Structure 1
Amino acid sequence: MPIDLYMNIRSTPCRSVLMAIRQLNLEVNIIETDPRKQETSTPEFLKLNPQHTIPTLVDDGFPLGESRAIIQYLVSKYAPNSGLYPTHDLKKRAHVDRLLYYDMSIAYAIRDAIFIKVFRGEEPHENAVKNFKNNFNVLNDFIGNNKYVAGNELTIADISYLGTISSLAINDYKDLDEFPNVKNWFFRLQKELPYFNEVNGKVPELLKQLSAPKK
């Protein structure tokens, strides 16, 4: 029985979950859901997710929201020994968790420093720009010389960050130029993971459709 995934391809967290599903080779029934049309506020949807957010997963009758929790759940259930979410080394698992939480800081930094200008036509506050650089410098240090975000093996932290950072396609990824470790990691994984373009290929065009008119 396939998994139901309520999602919208414009949503960064939704793309992260879909990439995790592709990585695990799971069957999925994608249910296109648009919050702008109040499709996450219907009584039926609220029974699944009172937060009325996407992505929302339903697996064998079990509903779950929040992208990182969904990814953790899917790997724990369907690939517990894959190394994507370490089970035998508590320290490695904790490091992956730490990076997943830090991904939220990266997402907020992109929203406050990049999206406010792209989608609202407003110049970001200088503190938002500073915070963006500080957060990406930390991520740059986390990656260092590693092949992947959490070390030398692919984990769900990589998948989550890929979804988040793919939104920088709106500026053709020029915002990564100051962070060489992040940039090299990101473009290498684009080529390494066969599903990346399938999930994210239309993102630049879709985001530009939503961008504010240039003054």
Structure 2
Amino acid sequence: NPLSLVLAYLLQEMPVVLYWLEHSPPVRSVNLVLHALDLPVEYVDVDLYKQDQLSPWYLKLNPLHTVPLIDDDGFILWESRAIMTYLVSKYGKNDSLYPKDIQKRAIVDQRLHYSNDVFYVVGELTQGIAFRQKAPTPELLEKIKEAQENIEKLLTGNKYIAGDSLTVADYSFITLVDLIEVYSPPKNKFPLTKEWFERCKLNMKYFDKANKKGADTVVNKVKKFLGQS
């Protein structure tokens, strides 16, 4: 049916709308996955510094007032890990980024859930600096070091976070590591993490285009506050 083919083509080309703050780590993770899937994207700025996320129009979309959020042809979804697994499940040409094998998927999910714990600590530190000019506490810095050690452990015997293949778990962690290393300089103590980061840079499509500008912005902001630049 020619009409159904035309409709399918048009639906495929409809952009996914990404509500974002460019330097947010979870936003950058989603942006990297969108680029990995070669999906057309329309960006809508949500400026957390101006409290756009508390505007009535945004609270209707996301009552938890966080970014990222996507609108996929009217389907609204927030929470970066949910967004990434949804996008790969719907648009992936294969299941490599989010395996259908139930045990492989369970490992990816396990790592994704842990990335949320890591983001909580990174977010506490970074939001404290960005929004409240609050210096890092020794307790949070200790948690950062623990996360650093755990990431190295996860990579022991693995090329990637959840095994020997690139998955959405890597996309969730990759945008956290640059900030982790600002708070706790690695001093060559985590060689597997360093190798993994370089491997991801090589194998994640459009890594710099989808990530670098936002990463540089937040890293430089934190470095300046900590007197590292």
Identical residues among aligned pairs (%):
35
| Matched letter for residue 122 of structure 1 | A
Counterpart of 1:15 in structure 2 is 28
The answer (yes or no) to whether the contact 1:121–1:213 under 8 Å persists in 2 is: no
**Bigger proportion of residues as helix:** 2
Structure 2: distance between partners of 1:167 and 1:49: 26
2:194 to 174, 177, 183: 183
Structure 2: distance between partners of 1:52 and 1:84: 28
Equivalent residues in 2 for 1:1-215, closer than 5 Å: 1-79=14-92, 81-87=94-100, 89-111=101-123, 115=126, 120=133, 122-125=135-138, 127-168=139-180, 171=182, 174-175=185-186, 177-203=188-214, 205-207=216-218, 208-209=220-221, 211-212=224-225, 214=227
TM-score, with length taken from structure 1: 0.86
Structure 2: distance between partners of 1:130 and 1:173: 9
Q: What are the ranges of 5 or more consecutive residues in structure 2 without an aligned counterpart?
A: 1-13
* Matched residues, number: 211
After superposition, the C-alpha distances for 1:63-114 in whole angstroms (9 at most, x for unaligned) are: 1110001001111111273311111x111100000000111222233345x6
Structure 2: distance between partners of 1:213 and 1:136: 19
Q: What are the ranges of 5 or more consecutive residues in structure 1 without an aligned counterpart?
A: none
Structure 2: distance between partners of 1:213 and 1:42: 32
| Matched letter for residue 59 of structure 2 | L
Structure 1: distance between partners of 2:226 and 2:162: 39
The answer (yes or no) to whether the contact 1:84–1:156 under 8 Å persists in 2 is: yes
Larger mean Cα displacement after TM superposition, 143-152 or 55-64: 143-152
Deviation at 1:22, TM superposition (A): 0.4
Deviation at 1:4, TM superposition (A): 0.5
Larger mean Cα displacement after TM superposition, 173-182 or 6-15: 173-182
Deviation at 1:199, TM superposition (A): 2.1
- CA RMSD for the aligned pairs? 2.6
Deviation at 1:118, TM superposition (A): 5.9
SS of the residue 1:97 aligns to: helix
Structure 2: distance between partners of 1:161 and 1:98: 13
Compared with structure 1, are the counterparts of its residues 111 and 177 closer, same or farther at alpha carbon in structure 2 (3 Å cutoff)?
farther
